[in-house]
């Protein structure tokens, strides 16, 4: 008698097979991805997004207006009424004739239409849920559910003091304190400072703080620098003490890029106090 027989254990092949069958009670691996099966708590049409309601044990129409209603289980693959059992595509390709999607776009769970998706990234919500992306076809969505935490209590910040900034001209006169930079009598010029953000973070806002003693003309920019070439791309730009929340290239990739703040047109007695980036982490 083998050790496995004596202990009453299954062989690996048998155990794996049984575990796989049990797993597929709620989830199926299909040709185009993976599906969950749930009873409907809301009636819905194929292409609508659903979340799992633990109170009723059913799938209901998702909407990005709270953490509870945006915990997505997938996109409905077939029309159904309340109490029907239906499949939800959680990952993979879903093709629906006449869907009329926008080619080469990211899609997010809508914050205003229950079960809907949108190409406009929501902001200022409890949850941001990316549901997938499109290629050339207007009928195919490549589903990849990614959830981002985003609210006042869950936002994360990266900040630097004004004393971190360096002048473009090394001959510049300035006073560097522990907390700020005060400029001397020089022609208007730019100042720069690197900032570190965790890899994979999603930048949601940026701002530079200071004092403009002259013409109220100081502007700042957050720049993405390509490590291999030195090429630059502006991610955000605004006036001093004004936050920019329209970030481009917002997903941080430290393997390819560095990130730099710049402050321009500074003159005598202007002050740079610090800079901040608001970001979230994919859950």
Average pLDDT of span 80-88: 95
Q: What angle do CA 225, 230, 248 make, to 5 degrees?
A: 25
Three-state DSSP class for 164? helix
Q: Which of 70, 81, 27, 79 is nearest to 48 (CA)?
A: 79
Per residue in 157-181, pLDDT tens?
999 998 888 887 665 666 665 556 6
Residue 19: phi and psi, rounded to 5, are: -65, -40
Per DSSP (E only), the strands in the chain are 27-30, 33-39, 49-53, 58-61, 72-76, 85-95, 106-109, 117-118, 127-133, 140-149, 156-161, 166-167, 174-176, 181-183, 189-194, 202-211, 219-226, 232-239, 257-266, 271-280
pTM: 0.49
Q: What pLDDT is recorded for position 170?
A: 62
Q: What pLDDT is recorded for position 182?
A: 63
d(CA 242, CA 32): 46
Q: What pLDDT is recorded for position 164?
A: 87
Partner residues linked to 206 by β-bridges: 244, 277
Q: Contact 93/75 with Cβ under 8 angstroms?
A: no
d(CA 134, CA 53): 28
Residues 6+ positions from 255 with CB-CB distance below 8 Å? 199
Q: What is the mean pLDDT of the chain?
A: 82
d(CA 137, CA 164): 48
Per residue in 113-151, pLDDT tens?
999 999 998 865 557 899 999 999 999 999 989 887 554
Q: How many residues does the chain have?
A: 283
């Amino acid at each position: 008698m083998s050790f496995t027989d004596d202990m009453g254990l299954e062989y690996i092949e048998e155990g794996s097979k049984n575990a796989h069958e049990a797993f597929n009670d709620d989830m199926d691996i299909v040709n185009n991805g993976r599906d969950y099966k749930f009873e409907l708590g809301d009636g819905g049409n194929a292409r609508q997004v659903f979340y799992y309601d633990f109170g009723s044990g059913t799938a209901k129409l998702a909407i990005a207006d709270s953490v509870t209603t945006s915990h997505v289980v997938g996109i409905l693959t077939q029309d159904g009424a309340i109490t029907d059992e239906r499949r939800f595509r959680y990952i993979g390709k879903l093709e629906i004739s006449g869907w009329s999607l926008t080619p080469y776009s990211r899609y997010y769970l809508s914050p205003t239409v229950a079960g809907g998706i949108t190409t406009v990234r929501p902001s200022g919500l409890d949850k941001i849920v990316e549901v997938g992306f499109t290629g050339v076809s207007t009928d195919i969505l490549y589903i990849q559910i990614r959830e981002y935490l985003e609210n006042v209590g869950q936002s994360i910040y990266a900040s630097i003091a004004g004393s971190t900034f360096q002048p473009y001209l090394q001959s510049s006169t300035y006073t560097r304190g522990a907390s700020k930079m005060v400029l001397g009598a020089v022609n208007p010029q730019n100042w720069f400072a690197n900032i570190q953000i965790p890899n994979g973070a999603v930048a949601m806002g940026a701002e530079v703080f200071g004092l403009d003693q002259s013409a109220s003309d100081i502007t700042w920019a957050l720049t993405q620098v390509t490590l291999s070439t030195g090429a630059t791309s502006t991610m955000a730009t605004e006036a001093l003490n004004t936050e920019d929340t329209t970030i481009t290239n917002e997903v941080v990739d430290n393997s390819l890029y560095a990130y730099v703040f710049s402050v321009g047109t500074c003159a005598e007695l202007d002050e740079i106090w610090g800079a901040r980036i608001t970001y979230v982490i994919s859950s």
